[in-house]
Amino acid sequence: MEFLGIEAFLAIVQTGSLTKAAEILHLSQSTVSYRLKVLEKGLGATLIERRKGIQTINLTPFGQSFVALAERWRLLNREVEFLQSRGPQVSLTIGAADSLNVYVLPPLYRAISQQCPFLHLQIRTQHTLESYESIARREVDVAFVKMERVVPNVAAEPFFEDEMVLVRLATEERTPADTLAPPELDCRYQLYFNWGPAYQMWHDRWWEVYSPSYLRIDAAALIFSLMWDTRQWAIVPQSIAASFAKTDKFVVQRLSDPPPPRVCYKLLPKYPDPAKASSLNLLNQLVRLLYNSGSSNAGHLPITKETYQR
């Protein structure tokens, strides 16, 4: 459709005059009239009544109905112009478990935002099973999960290992250097979170599997607010413990017989969308840079423009 004609039509509607419309468009009156005629011809309908000797503008019934459509068309054209002005855009949708989004992946998200402003990033918080399904259905481009599963057309690979440590409220007698043996911990006061099959097997060696005495939680962040007694304790990945250690309220301690490290996985479609190749390539470089040291501190390494460009 002729956008110049729509612009002329809306200017006439706004000013109520062909002459004033020409003034605000910085065009001659004959040019505005010509553009309006071309638009009407394209629509196959008259928009404005034309009567000799009458200066005011009256819209035809069709013209009145067309005003709203013309406004929408103008807004759409502005959005297209804005999109063109931004240049080529690359998008990436990431799904991840809540504890990974909060405690492990922020350095990755910051690196993408700082080093790749052209990348449009969308982040979703999902359960592990939901992430596998989203990858299989291609609803997300990459996902980060806490458990490996076998799902058709989904490729899973480890990207991060997280040491498991003990977190308790600080007292004058405790220091972060303390090492405890699991039997020294009273099961009745644990804040229990299931970190996966390997952790569950280790846990069941020391404490009752279905003991009703301890508090079970399903979000790691709850530990902050639910730990009020100095006898309480929780076993968490080092990446989460680092957040606790930022205050003097908690201490982080190691266990003499610790659980297996938590292994986190990166999920990708086995046959990625070729249009996403550049953005996935970029993300893989950043993941290797930030997390492939095998240390629980890897996710907290700083990233600079110089290291990204190497």
Could you read off the pLDDT of 76-120 as tens digits, one per residue? 888 777 666 655 567 789 999 998 999 999 999 998 888 777 778
Give the helix ranges, DSSP H, for the chain: 3-15, 18-25, 29-43, 61-86, 98-103, 106-115, 128-136, 197-206, 222-226, 238-244, 277-291, 305-309
* pLDDT per 10-residue tile (average), the chain, 310 residues: 82 88 89 90 88 73 90 83 63 90 92 80 92 93 92 92 91 72 90 89 83 78 88 92 82 92 93 83 88 50 33
CA distance 234 to 203: 12
Question: What pLDDT score was predicted for residue 307?
Answer: 30
Question: What pLDDT score was predicted for residue 53?
Answer: 58
DSSP lists the bridge partners of residue 120 as 91
SS3 201: helix
Q: What are the distances in angstroms from CA 5 to CA 9, 35, 38?
A: 6, 5, 7
CA distance 210 to 195: 16
CA distance 100 to 120: 20
Residues 6 or more apart whose CB falls under 8 angstroms from that of 257 comprise 181, 182
Question: What pLDDT score was predicted for residue 157?
Answer: 93
CA distance 85 to 228: 54
CA 15 to chain centre: 45
Question: What pLDDT score was predicted for residue 75?
Answer: 85
- 123: buried, middle or exposed (CB in 10 Å: 19+, 13-18, 0-12)? middle
Give the helix ranges, DSSP H, for 159-271: 197-206, 222-226, 238-244
Helix axes of 29-43 and 3-15: crossing angle, nearest 10 degrees: 120
Domains of the chain: 3-86 (1.10.10.10), 90-161+263-309 (3.40.190.10), 164-255 (3.40.190)
Residues 6 or more apart whose CB falls under 8 angstroms from that of 4 comprise 35, 38
Question: What pLDDT score was predicted for residue 87?
Answer: 57
Question: What pLDDT score was predicted for residue 299?
Answer: 41
Tokens of 267: 């999920």
What tens digit of pLDDT does each residue of 252-294 get? Answer: 899 999 999 999 999 999 888 887 888 888 889 889 988 874 4
- Asked whether 165 and 252 are in contact (CB, 8 A), the reply is yes
Neighbours of 162 (CB within 10 A): 26
